[in-house]
Amino acid sequence: MPLASFEASAQGTKAVKDFKSKPATAEDSFTYSFMGTYVLCRALQLGIEFPKAIQLGGGVYATIIKDKHEGKLASAGGKVLTDKQILDGAASQVIMRAGVMCPKELPKEILADVNKNMERMKKQMEIK
């Protein structure tokens, strides 16, 4: 391999590493949670049971955070989160968003929890 190609390759690798080390922004998180929610809703529409569907939807979001941003979120101060923290947060966000995107597909007890949490969040926003 010519030296110039090796140097370009090394620079490209460094650029990828620098990019990967950046925490996911709020905009990134919004995009990834939307993607995960779409997968959850579509899986439920296809008849996949909720526990498996949320593993798919939450897994999409969590995998992107883990692989693309090395488990770091700007909203968490840029620190590396554990796999459990990432998966729990991803599942929570995907389920909440599904309450808006595909409420008829969610199991009744899950939708009731989503609605309860949305009401709680509205009240918290009114206090501020």
> What is the per-residue pLDDT across 111-122, written as a single tens digit (0 to 9) for each?
999 999 999 988
pLDDT at 71: 95
Q: Give the tens place of pLDDT for each residue, 51-89.
A: 999 999 999 999 999 999 999 999 999 899 999 999 999
Residue-wise pLDDT tens digits, 25-41? 999 999 999 999 999 99
Mean pLDDT of the chain: 87
Q: String of b and e for 59-94 (b: at least 16 CB within 10 Å)?
A: bbbbebbbeebebbbeeeeeeebeeebbbebbbebb
